[in-house]
């Protein structure tokens, strides 16, 4: 039976005798290395007539996917691009430490973005939904992922950022690590201070636009 005929038989032929069930065992539920311990593997067994078909299935575990970072941290980067994470931040990343991180230049801001591995895989899954035949899609993905590197936090709590990535973010010695939901931004302190510097009136207007959906004055769209 060909794959196509099998699919037709499986989904259209109500008279076909078939069963599917996950086999739950230590062997089947082993973690897939590419995704760290965030992906569970098991098998789908389908019986159709005298034939038995076995498919490998993967399920993304969601128990670790809801870590929202909090707190703003002042740190220092040494000459090798190493940043010692404060204890409070190390405690936040502890549950996902062994899965690693991805770092890249921010698409819009003058800083670096640090993604837990699972969050970056989710971002890439969204990007992969975009058409490969649209040049604008391709150009955006190229620009958005430019300079992407995989990094780790070592046993002492140090984050080592490659020198070329450090330069992309304009990082010098004084560093600010700030949370943006499920990722972290790494700023040069001077640039960070400038980015959040605003008058009370500017802050009120921004809050109304973002939180209340108010349009800027003169916008008739």
Query: Could you read off the pLDDT of 172-189 as tens digits, one per residue?
Result: 999 999 999 999 999 999
Distances (CA, A) of 134 to 128, 137, 140: 12, 5, 10
pLDDT number for residue 57: 61
Cα 74 from Cα 181, distance rounded (Å): 18
| All domains in the chain, ordered by first residue | 3-60 (no CATH), 73-192 (3.40.1550.20)
Token readout for 180 is 């943006």
Note the pTM of the prediction, 2 decimals: 0.69
Of 40, 34, 18, 172, which is closest to residue 110 (Cα–Cα)?
172
Give the range among 13-22, 51-60, 184-193 with minimum mean pLDDT. Answer: 13-22
For 120-150, what is each residue's pLDDT tens digit?
A: 999 999 998 888 889 999 999 999 999 999 9
Task: Say whether pLDDT at 10 is over 50.
Answer: no
Tokens 């259209």 belong to residue: 12
Task: Find the mean pLDDT for residues 45-52.
Answer: 73
**For residue 221, what pLDDT is reported?**
56
Q: What is the mean pLDDT of the chain?
A: 79
Half-sphere exposure for 55 (CA within 13 Å, toward CB)? 12
- DSSP tag of 31: B
List, for residues 80-110, the tens digit of each pLDDT value.
Answer: 999 999 999 999 999 888 889 999 999 999 9
């Amino acid at each position: 039976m060909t794959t196509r005929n099998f699919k037709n038989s499986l989904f259209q032929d109500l008279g076909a005798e078939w069963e599917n069930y996950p086999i739950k065992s230590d062997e089947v539920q082993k973690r897939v290395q590419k995704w760290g311990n965030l992906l569970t593997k098991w098998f789908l067994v389908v019986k159709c007539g005298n034939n038995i078909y076995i498919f490998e299935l993967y399920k993304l575990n969601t128990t670790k996917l809801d870590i929202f970072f909090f707190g703003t941290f002042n740190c220092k980067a040494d000459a090798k691009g190493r940043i010692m994470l404060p204890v409070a931040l190390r405690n936040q990343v502890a549950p996902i430490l062994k899965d690693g991180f991805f770092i890249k230049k921010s698409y819009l801001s003058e800083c670096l973005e640090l993604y837990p591995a699972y969050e970056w895989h989710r971002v890439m899954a969204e990007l992969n939904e975009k058409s490969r035949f649209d040049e604008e899609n391709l150009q955006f993905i190229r620009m958005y992922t430019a300079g992407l590197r995989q990094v780790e936090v070592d046993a002492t709590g140090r984050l080592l950022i490659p020198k070329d990535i450090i330069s992309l973010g304009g990082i010098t010695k004084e560093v600010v690590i700030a949370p943006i939901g499920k990722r972290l931004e790494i700023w040069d302190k001077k640039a960070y201070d400038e980015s959040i510097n605003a008058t009370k009136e500017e802050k009120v207007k921004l809050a109304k636009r973002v939180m209340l959906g108010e349009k800027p004055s003169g916008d008739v769209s």
